[in-house]
Amino acid sequence: MVEGETIDTASLDGYVPFDSERQQAYIDAGYWRNITFHDVVDRHAEEIPDYTALVGPHRELTYAELAANSRRIAAYFVGELGLRPNERVVLQLPNCTEFLEAFVACSRVGVIPVMVLPRHRSAEANHVVDLTDARAYVVDYGRYSSGFDFVGLADDVRSSHESLEHLIAVTDGETSSVDGCDAFAEMRDERWVDKYGDEVSKTDVDPSKPGVMLLSGGTTGLPKAIPRTHNEYVFQWERMADAADVRDDWVAFPGVPIGHNASLNCIVGAALWAGATVAVEPELKPDALMAFIERVGGNYTLPMPTQILDILEHPDLDQYDLSSLEVLVSGGQKVPPRVVEEAVDRWNVGFCNIFGMAEGPLICTRPGDDVKVQANTVGRPIAPEADEIRIVETDRETEVPPGEAGELAVRGPGYFTGYFRNEKENTENFSDDGWFFTEDVLARRDDGNLEVYGRIKDTIIRGGENIYAPGIEDELVEHSKIANAALIGMPDDRLGERPAAFVELTDDATELPLKDVSSFLEERGIAVFKRPEYLEILESLPRTEVGKIEKQALKDRIVDAESK
Ligand code: AMP
């Protein structure tokens, strides 16, 4: 920044705040504690200073050290980089201790970290910096040997964005600096607190303002930015810790990138709330995860369903001691019931089958629920008395009769209030009185547990009959030759759509005719109109950065094939 130039510090144009009445109601009810992310850490730094907060591949930090380091980094942010409250900083790091030091540092000075995932590349990075006018970008420089040039990526983005002034590199032990970047390791020096500590302590961070921006999963198009306030997010950390019975002597470890809400909220946030230890490992492949669980004695984690399946089917599974596992959380896409049953059977764990969205909704089974409930439902909202939930017809007003499927609409102290700088989406998907329409189809069973049917867009309508793809996918993976399956609607002139299946075969299978799949489903009592009329075997199904199946790519594939 040019000396003397001022920045508009307070503005957060394009953010939709909670209306003041709701804010007050949440505070009065005790749902919002009016504390920030760093307050959560500081409370433990005072009460249990020497307890291990973070374990990473290279270092361990106590709560006192996490608090102290983040204070130094915060001082550097304001003093050396001139970052001001409400400004945005991109964090694109693997799961590592530095991620959380930077996250807490941002909180101290009211800077909003934007969660770009390690697998995002130039299209997403440019879009996100464009959208958020980020002023700094934090990347790994070989410390976690990802093999990808993140500094090069961030530098490219900088060359076309005036707002982006600073690149910050997390380097390995030998490389102390990288050309054109500030060195993260330097920021942990005590001298920054001596020099700028007063500025940090004078920063007024409002817990009802955004403390983080998550990105929407986006199986199509570019991600949307989802601002989450300290108040609403800390509320969910607390409620998630309660729902999963997270204990303060546990080691929690994220099985998906921390930048994803599933990790940051359900695992890292819940563990920080409880004063437990968070262990982080950048490598998230099955062998690495198993070795890691054994090494750190991991008790609490959230992998995607496919990761659990990969571990359960891993040839070396018996060589690892995973007996420390206490609670497994999984979701983000439909968890096949057999994955829950096998995991519970094998590890004797409590299973939180979770329906989650970065926008807020967290609905899950509890560790003590019956395994049938854990396998077939996503349980109840994490804060049943506070979370407002409705299941509505296509008019988005009338509630469906009990037991029937409809669109999930939500409002409450743990849910976001609108996408950042995206009036179109906000107008389309919010009601005037603050309900958010999720575009997900769920049903509430008589016992109060919710079942997920899929995205509205995942519903295949064949000649007027609804087919919920995830239910059929669950049936398909029960076939002995099918490892993974995705069902989509292929366009049809007469019927509108017809179901088409894409499958990955198990290791020992070589072929699978459509007629075998059809008779298999017939034996399982699946109505004829729901059975796939097209089958394609793929080496691997296309997936998003967190491993969800990318159905749009399959739809494009089928349209392309038909137009040839
Ligand atoms: P993201 O915010 O990227 O985690 O994506 C959220 C979306 O993932 C939701 O809107 C759902 O469509 C899907 N999803 C999350 N959890 C589940 C689940 N347990 N079963 C089926 N779909 C899910």
pLDDT, tens digit, for every residue of 446-500? 999 999 988 888 889 888 788 889 889 989 999 999 999 999 999 988 888 999 9
Residue 4: the pLDDT is 39
* Range from 201-215, 417-431, 446-460 carrying the lowest mean pLDDT: 446-460
What pLDDT sits at residue 173?
74
Nearest-CA residue for ligand 1 atom 9 is: 357
| pLDDT tens-digit readout, 539-555 | 999 988 777 888 889 98
Q: What is the pLDDT of residue 8?
A: 44
CA 476 – CA 469 distance, rounded (Å): 10
Report whether pLDDT(353) > 70.
yes
The SS3 call for residue 262 is: helix
If you average pLDDT over residues 528-540, what whole number do you get? 94
pLDDT tens per residue across span 35-86: 999 999 999 999 999 999 999 998 999 999 999 999 999 999 999 999 999 9
Distance 547 CA to ligand 1 centre (A): 12
- The verdict on the CB of residue 217 being under 6 Å from ligand 1 is yes
Grade residue 418 by pLDDT with cuts at 50, 70 and 90. Answer: very high
- Is 337 close to ligand 1, i.e. is its CB under 6 Å away? no
Helices marked H in 209-336 — which ranges? 230-243, 261, 270-274, 286-296, 305-312
Q: Hey, what domains does the chain have and what are their CATH numbers?
A: 9-230 (3.40.50.980), 463-563 (3.30.300.30)
Query: Mean pLDDT of all residues in the chain?
Result: 93
Shortest-distance atom of ligand 1 to CA 438? 10
Residue among 119, 226, 353, 355 whose CB has most ligand 1 atoms within 8 A, to mutate? 355
457 CB under 6 A from ligand 1?
no
Is the shortest distance between the CB of 551 and ligand 1 below 6 Å?
A: no
Nearest to 421 by CA among 259, 233, 222: 222
β-pair partners for 465: 462
**Mean pLDDT score, 3-10:** 43
Ligand 1 atom with least separation from CA of 357:
2
Those residues whose C-beta lies under 8 Å from the C-beta of residue 114, and which sit 6 or more positions away, are 88, 89, 90, 91, 128, 132, 134, 212, 213, 215, 225
413 and 26 Cβ atoms separated by less than 8 Å:
yes
pLDDT, tens only, 126-141 = 999 999 999 999 999 9
pLDDT at 5 over 60: no
pLDDT band, very low/low/confident/very high, at 3 (cuts 50, 70, 90): very low
Both tokens assigned to 457 = 């867009």
Max Cα distance, the chain (Å): 76
- Give pLDDT tens digits for 261-309: 999 999 999 999 999 999 999 999 999 999 999 999 999 999 999 899 8
Long-range pairs for 337-340 at CB < 8 Å and ≥24 separation? 337/375, 337/376, 337/474, 338/375, 338/477, 338/478, 339/305, 339/308, 339/309, 339/312, 340/371, 340/374, 340/375
Distances (CA, A) of 23 to 400, 413, 466: 29, 8, 40
What is the distance in A from the centroid of ligand 1 to the CA of 455?
Answer: 8
Beta bridge partners of 492: 496
- Measured by CA distance, the residue closest to atom 20 of ligand 1 is 334
Task: Report the C-alpha gap between 241 and 243 in whole angstroms.
Answer: 6
Say if residues 279 and 298 touch (Cβ distance below 8 Å).
yes
Residue pair 241/270 in contact (Cβ under 8 Å)? The answer is yes
Say yes or no: CB of residue 468 within 6 Å of ligand 1: no
Half-sphere exposure of 102 (CA within 13 A, CB side): 31
Residue 167 has what pLDDT?
98
pLDDT, residue 238, reads 98
Distance 333 CA to ligand 1 centre (A): 5
**Ligand 1 center to 181 CA (angstroms):** 36
Query: What does DSSP assign to residue 228?
Result: E
Q: Is the CB of 332 under 6 A from ligand 1?
A: yes
Beta carbons of 497 and 460 less than 8 angstroms apart: yes
Q: Give the model's confidence band at 9: pLDDT under 50 very low, under 70 low, under 90 confident, else very high.
A: very low
